[in-house]
Structure 1
C-alpha cells in the first residue's frame, strides 16, 4: 500500500475520533464542539476528494449483495453527514452564528439524532472495508506471513471489544438514541471522561466487527453458489 493510502486511513480514523468527541457535547464548551465539528466535516471533504474516482466506477462495476450493501452504507453516510452539515449551520452559536435560526429546538434534535446515526453508519462502513484496513496495518508492521497465534489473539481481542460494545450500547442507551426517543441517561464526565470515549469506541468496534463477519459469510456463499 502507498504512503498516500496510509495517510488517508489515518485521516479516516481521525474523523471517527472527532465524531466521538463531538458526541461529548456536555464535556466541551460550544465553541470547542463547533471547532471539532468543522474539523470533522473538513476531513469528510478530504475523504471524498481522495475517493472521487470511486463514484465514477460505481456504474461500471459488477453488482452483487456485498457491493450493493457497500453502496447503501455510503449513501446513508452521505445523507447523514449532509444533515449534520446543514443543521450545524442552522444552530451554530459561534463560528457560523450569522446563519443560525432563532430558537431552532427541532433542528438541534435532528442534529443530535443524525450524529448517533452517523456513528453507526461509520462503524458499518469501517466493517465493510476492514479487510483493506487490516491489509494496510499488516504492511505497515511488516506482517507478511500467516501466524495462527496472532490470528487467535486478534480475534480474541475483537470478541472482547464486541462484548464491551454490547454492554456499552445498553449503558449509553444507544438504541434509544437511534430510535429518536429520549433517554434519561446523562454521562457524568466528572466521574469518568475516558469511560465515555471507551464506550463509544467499543460500540463502533462492535458494529464494525458484525458487519465484517456477516459480509465475510456472504462472500463465502457467493463463491460457493455463484452471484447472489
Structure 2
C-alpha cells in the first residue's frame, strides 16, 4: 500500500466534513461559510491532482456497468462542483466581494440546491471507493486474516448507520432539498450543531453503504452471467 494513500483518504474525508460544515450556514457567519467553501475548493483541486493518472487512463479501460456508474458519478460531481464554484463567486460577500453580482437571490437558491446534490453525489462516490477505504484500514491496523465476527460487527454497524441516515433524511427533509422545495421552516434552530453533523454524517453513510453494496451485487451478477 502506498504510504501517501492514507493521507489522501484523510483529505477526502475532510472534504466531506467541509461540505457538511458549509450546509450548516445558519449556525455560521457568512465569512466562516465562505472560508470553509474556499478550503473545500482547495481540497478538490488537491484530490484531482492526486488522481490525474486516473483521468489519463479512462479511455484505455474496458467499460462495464460498474465502471460506467463510477464514471457517471465523477462526471456529475464535476458538474456540481463547477456550479457551486461559479455561484459562490457570484454571491460572495466577504472572501471575494469583487466577483459578486447584484440581486443574486436566484443564484443563492441554485448554490444551495447544488450543495445538497454535491453531498449526495460525494456520498455515492465514497461508496464506489469504499473497498479502497477498507483496504487502507486493514493496512493501517495491520489486519490480515479474515474474521467472521469482525465482519458481522462491521456490517451491523453499517446497517445501523444506514437506518439512522434514513431517519435523518426524513427529519431534515433532505429529499425536498434535492428538489429545491425546501424553505427556512425546515431548519430547527434549537438543534445542536453536533446533532446536525450526526444527521448529515448518517445520510452520507446511508448513501455510501447503498452504493457500496449495490456495486457488490452488480459485480456478483456479472460474474454469474459470464
Structure 2 CA distance, aligned partners of 1:65 and 1:139?
Answer: 29
Alpha-carbon distance in 1 for matches of 2:112, 2:157: 31
State the alpha-carbon separation in 2 of the partners of residues 191 and 71 from structure 1: 37
Which residue matches 2:188? 187
Paired residues for 1:193-208 under 5 Å: 193-208=193-208
Deviation at 1:181?
1.0
Q: 2-side partners of 1:131 and 1:43: how far apart?
A: 22
- 2:115 match: 115
Matched position secondary structure for 2:60: coil
| RMSD over aligned Cα atoms | 0.8
1:172 corresponding residue in structure 2: 172
Q: Deviations over 1:13-56 (max 9, x none)?
A: 00000000000001000000000000000000000000001111
Equivalent residues of 2:173, 2:182 under 8 A apart: no
Displacement after TM superposition at 1:92 (Å) = 0.1
Aligned partners of 1:130, 1:8: CA distance in 2, in Å? Answer: 14
Q: Which residue of 2 aligns with 1:4?
A: 4
TM-score normalised by length of structure 1: 0.97
The question of 1:38 aligning with 2:13 is answered no
Q: Does the aligned pair in 2 maintain the 1:187–1:196 contact within 8 Å?
A: no
In 2, the alpha carbon distance for the partners of 1:71 and 1:2 equals 24
- Is 1:154 the equivalent of 2:154? yes
Task: Give, in whole Å, the separation in 2 of the partners of 1:114 and 1:171.
Answer: 20
4+ long deviations beyond 3 Å: none
Cα separation, 1, equivalents of 2:142 and 2:166: 33
2:135 equivalent in structure 1: 135
Partners of 1:128 and 1:191 lie apart in 2 by 32
For residues 191 and 134 of structure 1, the distance between their equivalents in structure 2, rounded to whole angstroms, comes to: 33
Report the CA distance between 1:103 and its aligned residue: 1.6
Q: Which runs of 5+ in 2 are unaligned?
A: none
Which whole-Å deviations, capped at 9, do the CAs of 1:172-191 have from their partners, x for residues lacking one? 10000001112431122x44
Provide the secondary structure at the position in 2 that maps to 1:81: helix
Deviations 1:116-138 (A, max 9, x none): 00000001000011111110011
Q: Find the aligned partners of 1:221 and 1:48 in 2 and give their Cα distance.
A: 31
Give the Cα–Cα distance (whole angstroms) in 2 for the partners of residues 74 and 191 of structure 1.
33
Cα distance in structure 1, aligned partners of 2:153 and 2:141: 16
Answer whether contact 2:127 2:207 (CA < 8 A) is retained: yes
What's the offset of the Cα at 1:57? 0.5
